[in-house]
Amino acid sequence: MRILFRLVLVAFLLPVFSCKRGASWDVDAAFPIAKSHLNFSNFFGDTIFKADPSGLLHISFSKDIINFTMDSLVKLPDTTVVLGFTSPFVSQLNPGTIVFANNSSTDREITFNVSNGVELNRAIVKKGFLKVEYSNTYSQPLNFNYDINSANLWGNILHISQTVSGGSTANPSTLTRIYPLDDYTINLTGLSNTKVNTLVQSYTITTDPSGVADQLQVGQGLSVKLSFSDVVPAYVQGYFGQQDLSFGPDSTLLGIFDNFKPSNFALTQSAINFRIINEFGIELSSTISNIRSIKTTPPNVVSLNAGNLLQTINVNRAGRTYNASNPVFPWVKQIDINSSNSNLNAFLENVPNYLGYKVQAKLNPLGNISAGNDFAYYGHGLKVIADVDIPFELSADYFNLINYAKIDLTGISQLNNINNCEMILQARNNYPFRAQIQGYMVNNQNQVVDSMFTWDNNTIQSAVTDNANTVLNYTDTKLVAFFDKPKIDHLKECSQVKFVTYLYLPNQPTPIKIKDSSYLDLMLSANVNYNVKTKK
């Protein structure tokens, strides 16, 4: 029905008449308005329908329940360390003299405080920054040479060489620089190669060769503040701990049945295939619970009862493909919930707006069995997807289908010249049920201002069927709606038409099968009584 009243009346508002100057008379004219070929996809959307080999229509769609990615599993915190040297005594320094070199193991390592017990031994940085703030209180320029020995990019370690001009205790010379960390591979095993979350650094502070000999006073020197900021890993490896993950209770919007309102709806069969897709290099134990069919109007909730099928699910780790463009070979677990092993028919017959759920998972339930080889890639993670399949073999008293058509007649002054008109709807029905159609004129405030058809003249007859309600031939029906002047005035207020269609199914024990070959063809035309006036 979406295009049924698009351009309503526009086709006959600008007729060309041959007339005398100053004359005025009424003219009757008939005009075609619109055609439409309707099936169930007009109400639900083409993308969720598919036909099986027999031609039976299925509502088929997928809905993400969980999409838990690496950035939620492993977070590298912003980390700040302060390096440098301040002199404990007065020293006479010449240009090019080494003032300080970090030689102790405690000064050569930086340890990241990674949350949730995660122990990383390797990471590749997707993006991030090293912010370095320098402050020199010595009167001569000082050179800061810094290496992150465990950060490698194309065979080169991360190296910084910076000269900071001279200052004083009262007025230090300051400088800030930002260095990208993108694409660096970082070894996080420390100096001994046995630690975790720990990188190795080295640095020296020297007087600049361009300076002059001078005295370094007590408390003077170079202070360096290093801040690792906004680090997003492309890859992490290590032991991710025995984290407990919980998602929900929560719900996800379905948005499929909003325009579908059945009475005494009963399905023959249905299925939801829950797919658990693990793209982490981690074992998990998971449970999917509290699955609910939530209808908001009128409010009703039906809980899914599937026994132990969704309880304590062992999830194996993913594998590596060693292909940079597609690095993960996911492990997939499929759990088929259907009308035979659950109350799924009743669950879906509730016609839900939302799908409620709760998912719990435990990482590494058997401990560090990978010996520190858990892994995760950016953009990959743990997913739970519900694949819904509903064959359109069903029974019901009727379906209440609702859709809207936008129209805009506010700027067309010729509406004032129409005395009355008949809207003629010719329908060819190839469905095995009769239909009643009503159109409501809705204004800009979303208020219904009038209706189009009368309830005693809005029924489209069912197709010709056999005893099993298999369609043998289509049926033609003609509906007429009379628009007098007040109704035309209401039409001028109309910004959209709300169509409510009731599809009445035959009352019989055999479910109705809706085929992809079924259709409802509509053609709208108008007989118009139009007042023509010309200027003198």
Residue 534: its pLDDT value, please? 53
Q: What digits encode the pLDDT tens for the residues 236-266? A: 999 999 999 999 899 999 877 776 778 888 8
2.60.120, 2.60.40, 3.40.720, 3.30.70: CATH of 58-71+243-391: 2.60.120
CA distances from 2 to 6, 236, 281, 439 (A): 8, 51, 49, 11
Q: What digits encode the pLDDT tens for the residues 188-236? A: 999 999 999 999 999 999 999 999 999 999 999 999 999 999 999 999 9
pTM equals 0.78
CA 360 – CA 310 distance, rounded (Å): 11
* Residue 445 or 507, more confident: 445
Sign of the C-alpha dihedral, residues 22, 24, 30, 34?
positive
Average pLDDT over residues 3-30: 41
Q: What angle do CA 94, 98, 102 make, to 5 degrees?
A: 155
Residue 518: its pLDDT value, please? 85
- DSSP code, position 462: P
Specify the amino acid at residue 43: F
Domain map of the chain by residue range? Answer: 10-50+52-56+396-533, 58-71+243-391, 80-239
Residue 373: its pLDDT value, please? 96
* Residue 233 or 45, more confident: 233
The first and second tokens of residue 295, run together, are 């209808």
Closest by CA to 132, choosing from 45, 224, 62, 218, is: 224
- DSSP code, position 417: G
Q: What percent of the chain has pLDDT over 70?
A: 87
Residue 440: its pLDDT value, please? 87
CA 203 – CA 222 distance, rounded (Å): 12
Residue 448: its pLDDT value, please? 93
Rg, the chain, Cα only: 37
Give the bridge partners for 401, in sequence order. 260, 501
Q: What is the DSSP annotation of 52-103?
A: -TT-BEEEEEEEEEEEEEHHHH-----EEEEEEEE-SS-EEE-TT-EEEE--
Residue 412: its pLDDT value, please? 46
With 90 as the cut, is the pLDDT of residue 132 above it?
Answer: yes
Average pLDDT over residues 165-176: 96
* Band (508; pLDDT cuts 50, 70, 90): low
CA 97 – CA 40 distance, rounded (Å): 84
CA 280 – CA 370 distance, rounded (Å): 13
Q: Which residue has the tokens 């799924």?
A: 344
* Band (72; pLDDT cuts 50, 70, 90): confident
* Band (22; pLDDT cuts 50, 70, 90): very low
* Band (141; pLDDT cuts 50, 70, 90): very high
CA 136 – CA 163 distance, rounded (Å): 10
- The three-class DSSP label of residue 272 is strand
Residue 5: its pLDDT value, please? 38
- The three-class DSSP label of residue 299 is strand
- CB atoms < 10 A from the CB of 40, how many? 23
Residue 18: its pLDDT value, please? 35
Mean pLDDT of the chain: 86
Domains 58-71+243-391 and 80-239 share a fold: yes
Residue 419: its pLDDT value, please? 72
**End-to-end CA separation in angstroms for the chain:** 44
CA distances from 78 to 120, 227, 298 (A): 16, 7, 49
Residue 23: its pLDDT value, please? 44
Q: Which residue has the tokens 């005398």?
A: 20
Average pLDDT over residues 71-80: 86
Residue 321: its pLDDT value, please? 94
Residue 421: its pLDDT value, please? 78
Could you tell me if 375 and 237 are in contact, meaning their C-beta atoms sit under 8 angstroms apart? yes
Residue 404: its pLDDT value, please? 74
Q: Does CATH number 2.60.120 belong to domain 80-239?
A: yes
Burial class (CB in 10 A: 0-12, 13-18, 19+), 214: middle
CB crowding 481-520: b at 16 or more within 10 Å, else e: bebeeebbebbbbbbbbbbbbbbbbeeeeebbbbbbebbb
Residue 442: its pLDDT value, please? 87
Q: What digits encode the pLDDT tens for the residues 440-484? A: 888 888 899 998 888 788 899 999 988 888 889 999 999 888 888
Residue 517: its pLDDT value, please? 84
Sheet strand arrangement including 24-38: 24-38, 520-533, 418-429, 475-483
